[in-house]
């Protein structure tokens, strides 16, 4: 009996997928390309784009920075993955950023960009992003587009409902996608899911001035899958909403077994109340190891500290702080409109999009309009919380963003379209095809209290025939759509790095005016910072430190002798330029890590272990001047037993090491 139900559900899913493949799409879907599309996306040479867009790099672990409306890629910011282009995660200064309680982990799966907010508006200071696989949250400083901090989230598996921010950047919040056995002995049978598996929700405090993160408290929560989240704002400020699936608590064949119940949940948390409980001392300290990595902008060096405990509260003991709201069919996105009154939940297999009213949720709580409990948490009656449903939006609703005119835009993964509807009436106004299968979508400022509007960007999972083919592995893509009029109009397709789950965009001025152009040498506190008179080479046992400078167009020293096989050479290169756009690179023949790309005023270090005697060239890897090709030198390596003295020089200025070997 049970088996046949599984089978028929699988058939239904297969039918939907087949329908998509065979191109059966809902009627009235139009492919509208704006007649003046070229004019609307053309940014003449030498002119700037109107907006910065930040995309998550998905399985690349990085962040992409694009200009809109041109779609030009401006930068890849390395976050959770090593990046040979600039030595991120390879240089000695940056390696600690990728440290975790489980050691050095040079890759992750990044999903949600989240910019800091003041008063519910994007303030352009920091960009947060989650590492999904090895649970981590990173913070990028938008003054220099550099990852400045990464904190690991313990007691978490699949840091997916993360990092969603509260309206004054009080917290970035993270919830587990996968429930797991938490605490004491986690070695339990998988089929004991129901009794042993739990979720956690972490409130990570953000310092108002420095942006520094620390885990304030964690909540032990029912053992379901927490998928996505958004903070309340305006009317609903102080609350946080999470989509939950697998309320069936299945641990195998979730495709079928987690799709049994007609409704799963939205979890509504009163975080201000939870904060009060926490301040009143309701949390227990539990043992948990996690790394907290910080990049210091004056030492240009990261440190990694392992922390050993977190404060935990059990959600079911937190009276009046948590409520479930039934939500059809495995909800994915949960999005809050700019006023904070409407909470939109997208059930992946649902035929409607439910829109909940914050006011009605509050009334229902006051009047105890509950249909029962789930794991000791009251479940509000669906109708009591509902403002209305968007009827026939399309197939496979995933995510919703908002414009500045009271409209919402939702992605339909299966029917490959964006649907525009009116938030207050839930009436569908327009729809446009996208190519193909959008996940998230993004309106600039579209998850904040003050959307900028003008465009929506579809972040598509499948590109198939949209670009020149590149073998089996194809690019991901974004599509820019004009939403300034009543009808949505397609303007531009452009490829993206990795898989762009979520993205955010803001008017360029908000960020451009704060840009750092170089690091001041006078403020460089790196342990190996070197100014021209202090250039030297120092042996400490089998480690040789080269205190090197780089300036157009020479590296000092450029001749080094006295290195022996078995030594480890560390080149500490200070770029002594004090000018915008004057980086130098550094590589030495056979170095088995990556190059260094050193910004003006910065110091970076690279380890090199020569394997056999010889003379090895090193050079600047960034074409920095007319005499860039001359920016080169040699290092001589002698056999292990040789007595070649350690010496270095530039031109006629040569030195021999005074220190004893
Ligand atoms: Cu929908 Cu990870 Cu936000 Cu991808 S998630 S699409
Ligand atoms: Cu410095 Cu090329």
Q: Calculate how far, in angstroms, residue 398's C-alpha sits from the geometric centre of ligand 1.
A: 8
pLDDT level of residue 658 (50, 70, 90 thresholds): confident
Q: What percent of the chain has pLDDT over 70?
A: 95
Among the atoms of ligand 1, which is closest to the Cα of residue 499? 4
Whether the CB of 136 sits within 6 Å of ligand 1:
no
Count, residues in the chain: 661
Residue 22 has pLDDT above 60, yes or no: no
Among the atoms of ligand 1, which is closest to the Cα of residue 112? 3
Q: Calculate how far, in angstroms, residue 459's C-alpha sits from the geometric centre of ligand 1.
A: 10
Among the atoms of ligand 1, which is closest to the Cα of residue 399? 1
Q: Calculate how far, in angstroms, residue 551's C-alpha sits from the geometric centre of ligand 2.
A: 8
Question: Average pLDDT of the chain?
Answer: 94
Q: Which range (35-39, 73-77, 241-245, 467-471) has the least confidence? A: 35-39
Q: Calculate how far, in angstroms, residue 603's C-alpha sits from the geometric centre of ligand 2.
A: 15
Mean pLDDT, range 176-184, rounded to an integer: 91
Q: Tokens representing 226?
A: 């927490």
Residue 29 has pLDDT above 80, yes or no: no
Mean pLDDT, range 540-564, rounded to an integer: 98
Return the pLDDT at 31: 62
**Whole-angstrom distance, CA of residue 396 vs CA of residue 416:** 9
Q: What is the pLDDT of residues 257-291, one digit of tens each?
A: 999 999 999 999 999 999 999 999 999 999 999 99
Return the pLDDT at 581: 97
Q: What is the pLDDT of residues 453-466, one digit of tens each?
A: 999 999 999 999 99
Among the atoms of ligand 1, which is closest to the Cα of residue 398? 1
Mean pLDDT, range 470-482, rounded to an integer: 95
Ligand 2 residue neighbourhood (C-beta within 6 Å): 550, 584, 620, 622-624, 628, 631
**Whole-angstrom distance, CA of residue 318 vs CA of residue 166:** 20
Among the atoms of ligand 2, which is closest to the Cα of residue 619? 2
Whether the CB of 139 sits within 6 Å of ligand 1:
no
Among the atoms of ligand 2, which is closest to the Cα of residue 552? 1
**Whole-angstrom distance, CA of residue 417 vs CA of residue 425:** 21
Residue 47 has pLDDT above 80, yes or no: yes
Return the pLDDT at 415: 97
**Whole-angstrom distance, CA of residue 229 vs CA of residue 253:** 25
Residue 578 has pLDDT above 80, yes or no: yes
Whether the CB of 439 sits within 6 Å of ligand 1:
yes
Instruction: Please calculate the CA angle 502-508-510 and round it to the nearest 5 degrees.
Output: 95
Mean pLDDT, range 376-396, rounded to an integer: 97
Q: Are 490 and 478 in contact (CB under 8 A)?
A: no
Q: What is the pLDDT of residues 190-236, one digit of tens each?
A: 999 999 999 999 999 999 999 999 999 999 999 999 999 999 999 99
Q: Calculate how far, in angstroms, residue 556's C-alpha sits from the geometric centre of ligand 2.
A: 12
Q: Calculate how far, in angstroms, residue 414's C-alpha sits from the geometric centre of ligand 1.
A: 14
Point out the ligand nearest to the CA of residue 399.
1
Nearest CA to ligand 1 atom 5: 501
Residue 16 has pLDDT above 70, yes or no: no
Residue 600 has pLDDT above 50, yes or no: yes
Q: Calculate how far, in angstroms, residue 539's C-alpha sits from the geometric centre of ligand 1.
A: 51
Return the pLDDT at 4: 40
Mean pLDDT, range 414-443, rounded to an integer: 98
Q: Are 271 and 165 in contact (CB under 8 A)?
A: no
**Whole-angstrom distance, CA of residue 462 vs CA of residue 396:** 15
Among the atoms of ligand 2, which is closest to the Cα of residue 621? 2
pLDDT level of residue 562 (50, 70, 90 thresholds): very high
Instruction: Give the torsion through C-alpha atoms of 599, 600, 606, 611, to 10 deg.
Output: 110
Return the pLDDT at 5: 40
Whether the CB of 290 sits within 6 Å of ligand 1:
no
Residue 12 has pLDDT above 70, yes or no: no
Nearest CA to ligand 2 atom 1: 584
Point out the ligand nearest to the CA of residue 411.
1
Residue 507 CB partners (closer than 8 Å, separation 6+): 50, 51, 444, 452
**Whole-angstrom distance, CA of residue 549 vs CA of residue 96:** 24
Q: Calculate how far, in angstroms, residue 574's C-alpha sits from the geometric centre of ligand 2.
A: 13
**Whole-angstrom distance, CA of residue 231 vs CA of residue 445:** 14
Distance from the Cα of residue 634 to its chain's centroid = 41
Residue 581 CB partners (closer than 8 Å, separation 6+): none
Return the pLDDT at 248: 95
Among the atoms of ligand 2, which is closest to the Cα of residue 620? 2
**Whole-angstrom distance, CA of residue 629 vs CA of residue 621:** 9
Nearest CA to ligand 1 atom 4: 501
Q: Calculate how far, in angstroms, residue 86's C-alpha sits from the geometric centre of ligand 1.
A: 28
pLDDT level of residue 27 (50, 70, 90 thresholds): very low
Point out the ligand nearest to the CA of residue 627.
2
Query: Which one, of 382, 390, 393, 449, lies nearest residue 425 by Cα?
Result: 390
Mean pLDDT, range 396-421, rounded to an integer: 98
- 319 C-beta neighbours (distance < 10 Å), count: 8
Q: Calculate how far, in angstroms, residue 585's C-alpha sits from the geometric centre of ligand 2.
A: 6
Query: Which one, of 409, 408, 390, 407, lies nearest residue 350 by Cα?
Result: 390
Instruction: Please calculate the CA angle 337-341-344 and round it to the nearest 5 degrees.
Output: 50
- Kind of pairing between the strands at 455-460 and 476-482: antiparallel
Among the atoms of ligand 1, which is closest to the Cα of residue 160? 2
Residue 616 CB partners (closer than 8 Å, separation 6+): 588, 589, 590, 610, 634, 635, 636, 637
Q: Calculate how far, in angstroms, residue 438's C-alpha sits from the geometric centre of ligand 1.
A: 10
């Amino acid at each position: 009996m049970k088996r046949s139900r599984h089978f028929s559900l699988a058939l239904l899913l297969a039918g939907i997928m087949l329908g998509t493949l065979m191109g059966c799409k809902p009627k009235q879907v139009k492919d509208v390309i704006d007649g003046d599309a070229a004019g609307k996306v053309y940014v003449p040479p030498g002119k700037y784009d109107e907006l910065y867009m930040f995309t998550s790099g998905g399985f690349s672990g990085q962040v992409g920075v694009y200009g809109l409306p041109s779609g030009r890629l401006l930068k890849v910011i390395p976050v959770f993955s090593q990046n040979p282009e600039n030595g991120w995660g390879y240089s000695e200064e940056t390696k600690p950023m990728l440290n975790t309680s489980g050691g050095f982990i040079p890759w992750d799966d990044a999903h949600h960009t989240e910019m800091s907010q003041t008063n519910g508006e994007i303030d352009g200071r920091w960009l947060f992003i989650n590492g999904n696989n090895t649970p981590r949250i990173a913070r990028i400083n938008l003054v220099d587009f550099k990852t400045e901090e990464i904190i690991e989230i313990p007691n978490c598996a699949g840091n997916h409902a993360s990092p969603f921010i509260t309206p004054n950047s009080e917290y970035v919040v993270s919830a587990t996608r996968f429930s797991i056995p938490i605490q004491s002995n986690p070695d339990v049978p998988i089929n004991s899911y129901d009794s042993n598996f739990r979720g956690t929700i972490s409130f990570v405090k953000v310092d108002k001035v420095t942006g520094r993160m620390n885990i304030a408290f964690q909540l032990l929560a029912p053992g379901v899958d927490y998928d996505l989240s958004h903070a309340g704002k305006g009317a609903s400020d102080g609350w946080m909403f999470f989509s939950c699936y697998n309320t069936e608590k299945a641990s195998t064949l979730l495709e079928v077994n987690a799709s049994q119940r007609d409704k799963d949940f939205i979890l509504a948390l009163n975080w201000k109340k939870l904060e009060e409980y926490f301040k009143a001392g309701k949390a227990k300290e539990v043992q948990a190891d996690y790394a907290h990595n910080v990049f210091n902008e004056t030492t240009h060096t990261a440190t990694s500290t392992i922390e050993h405990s977190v404060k935990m509260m059990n959600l079911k003991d937190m009276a009046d702080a948590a409520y479930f709201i039934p939500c059809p069919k495995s909800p994915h996105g949960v999005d809050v409109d700019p006023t904070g009154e409407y909470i939109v939940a997208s059930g992946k297999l649902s035929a409607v999009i439910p829109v909940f009213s914050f006011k009605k949720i509050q009334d229902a709580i006051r009047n105890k309009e509950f249909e029962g409990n789930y794991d000791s948490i009251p479940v509000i009656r669906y109708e009591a919380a509902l403002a209305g449903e968007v009827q026939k939006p399309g197939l496979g609703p995933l995510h919703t963003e908002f414009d500045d005119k009271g409209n919402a835009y939702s992605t339909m993964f299966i029917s490959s379209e964006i649907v525009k509807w009116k938030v207050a009436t839930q009436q569908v106004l327009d729809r446009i095809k996208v190519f193909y299968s959008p996940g998230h979508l993004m309106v600039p400022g579209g998850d904040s209290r003050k959307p900028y509007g003008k465009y929506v960007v579809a972040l598509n999972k499948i590109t198939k025939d949209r670009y020149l083919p590149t073998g089996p592995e194809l690019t991901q893509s974004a599509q820019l759509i004009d939403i300034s009029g009543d009808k949505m109009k397609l303007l531009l397709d452009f490829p993206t790095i990795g898989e762009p789950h979520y993205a955010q965009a803001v008017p360029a001025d908000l960020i451009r005016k704060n840009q750092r152009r170089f690091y001041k040498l006078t403020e460089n506190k790196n342990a190996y910072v070197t100014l021209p008179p202090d250039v030297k080479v120092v042996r400490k046992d089998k480690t040789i430190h080269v205190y090197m400078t780089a300036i157009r167009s020479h590296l000092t020293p450029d001749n080094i002798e006295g290195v022996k096989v078995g030594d480890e050479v560390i080149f500490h290169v200070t770029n002594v330029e004090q000018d915008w756009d004057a980086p130098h690179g550094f590589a030495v023949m056979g170095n088995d890590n990556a190059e260094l790309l050193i910004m003006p005023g910065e110091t970076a270090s690279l380890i090199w272990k020569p394997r056999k005697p010889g003379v090895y060239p090193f050079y600047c890897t960034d074409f920095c001047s007319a005499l860039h090709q001359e920016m080169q030198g040699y290092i001589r390596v002698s056999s292990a037993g040789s007595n070649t003295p350690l010496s270095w020089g530039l031109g006629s200025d040569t030195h021999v090491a005074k220190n004893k070997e």
